[in-house]
């Protein structure tokens, strides 16, 4: 099974759900780009534009936006059983 997905995580260092999401993706063997929106104002605006949300985490997986650590939705988008 190939694990080639374009995954971007918009997060902050103090967010426990961000850590859970990133740990879950690592455990499943997925690589992702992590963007700290507390330090990158332009990327924070990009996240709000994509999701309509100011809260983190926001995952962009192959163009599908997932707000929060929604494990079932992440599994579905990535094809994890």
- Identify how many contiguous H helices and E strands the chain contains and give both numbers: 3, 4
* Nearest alpha-carbon partner for 6 in 52, 64, 76, 72: 64
The pLDDT-based confidence of 3 (bands split at 50, 70, 90) is low
Q: What is the pLDDT of residues 34-66, one digit of tens each?
A: 999 999 999 999 999 999 999 999 999 999 999
Could you give the domains of the chain?
7-72 (3.40.30.10)
Task: Report whether pLDDT(24) > 80.
Answer: yes
Full-model pTM: 0.92
The pLDDT-based confidence of 13 (bands split at 50, 70, 90) is very high
Mean pLDDT of the chain: 95
């Amino acid at each position: 099974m190939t694990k080639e997905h374009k995954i971007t995580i918009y997060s902050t260092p103090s967010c426990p759900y961000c850590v859970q999401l990133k740990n879950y993706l690592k455990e499943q063997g997925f690589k992702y780009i992590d963007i700290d929106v507390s330090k990158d104002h332009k990327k924070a605006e990009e996240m709000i534009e994509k999701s309509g949300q100011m809260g983190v985490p926001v995952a962009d997986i192959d163009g599908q936006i997932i707000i929060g650590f929604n494990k079932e939705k992440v599994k579905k988008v990535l094809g994890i059983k």
